[in-house]
Amino acid sequence: MDNINIENLLDPISVKVFFKDYWGKKHLVIRRNKYKGLYTWSDFNTYMNRFPANKSLQILDYDGKDGKWCLDKMRNGQLKLPKLSKQDVFNLWKKGKTFVIPFLEYEKKELVDICFEFEKYFGRGQANVYVSPGANSKSYPAHGDSTENFLFHTEGKTNWTLYKEFKPDQPKTVLEKVTLEPGDLLYIPKGQYHEVTTSEPRILISIHFANKEGQSLEKFKITSVSDNKRDKWYDWKPFIKNNKQATTERLMNKKNWSKPYFNQSK
């Protein structure tokens, strides 16, 4: 995977052109073949098999009436939702429901690295993963978000409709309809209306950020990584040097072994 820095993240659009022409103004489709490994079917498989030990999970239209099932809100009693078993969740997946996994940035180092990089230019962000098992899996209706959105496509094709209008207007004028593939990036500025439909199994990651307070092209603030309060990614590899001890000869590996089997003198 390419190094994670803003030049590579926006490649082949330059950072200057991005902020001057697109940031806060209009969506940007970048067709390319990068960062496909950020979140794969294998990663999703591992995450889902952890159920019910997962931190968060949402299932869209779980009840066929546009209801959203939310694991943490069910757990803390914030919403009255059914307690679903792993089998129930798997059945909903087989029925074609779209799953959303919010706050996933600490699942993989690359996702935290992307947050650290974008947070030099934007406020605090997070990574949410959208996963659909097949065609016509229901997602959100046309809406505008309250954050700056970078959508990394990693598996399957996703069909997008981008509207001209920004919140609080209503979505009316279609600016672009586009099908994005693994390796493509879509930027959607805060508030711009958009909608997704699925025609095959797909995964995409929405990495989104608030804007820094008072951020503008005229007075552009860049925060250094060392000033970022976000928990860093620690390398949990063993750091205590293990002095290799001389191994005792294993008597049972000997061709002709004699009693006693465990020789105390060795």
Interacting residues toward Fe ion by CB under 5 A: 145
Q: Which is nearer to Fe ion, 123 or 191 (CB)?
A: 191
Which residue, judged by CB position, is nearest to Fe ion in the bound state? Answer: 145
Residue 179 CA to residue 198 CA, distance in Å, equals: 9
C-alpha 83 chain-centroid distance: 25
Minimum CB distance to Fe ion, residue 176 (Å): 15
Minimum CB distance to Fe ion, residue 95 (Å): 23
Q: Which is nearer to Fe ion, 114 or 196 (CB)?
A: 196
Minimum CB distance to Fe ion, residue 140 (Å): 6
End-to-end C-alpha distance for the chain, whole angstroms: 51
Minimum CB distance to Fe ion, residue 21 (Å): 22
Minimum CB distance to Fe ion, residue 223 (Å): 25
CA-based nearest residue to 125, from 211, 237, 10: 211
Continuous segment of H or E residues that includes residue 172: none
Residues 6+ apart with CB under 8 A from 55: 72, 103
Structure tokens that stand for 155 in this block: 């598996």
User: 59 near 69, Cβ under 8 Å?
Assistant: yes
Q: Which is nearer to Fe ion, 84 or 118 (CB)?
A: 118
Structure tokens that stand for 74 in this block: 């069910």
Minimum CB distance to Fe ion, residue 194 (Å): 6
Q: Which is nearer to Fe ion, 142 or 251 (CB)?
A: 142
Residue 35 CB coordination number (10 Å): 23
Q: Which is nearer to Fe ion, 72 or 145 (CB)?
A: 145
Minimum CB distance to Fe ion, residue 206 (Å): 7
Q: Which is nearer to Fe ion, 126 or 228 (CB)?
A: 126
Q: Is 95 strand, coil or helix? A: coil
Minimum CB distance to Fe ion, residue 177 (Å): 16
Q: Which is nearer to Fe ion, 23 or 84 (CB)?
A: 23
Residue 246 CA to residue 154 CA, distance in Å, equals: 48
Residue 173 CA to residue 164 CA, distance in Å, equals: 6
Pairing of strands 68-70, 125-132: unpaired
> Distances in Å between the alpha carbon of 225 and those of 77, 97, 184?
37, 38, 26
Q: Which is nearer to Fe ion, 145 or 200 (CB)?
A: 145
Residue 183 CA to residue 153 CA, distance in Å, equals: 6
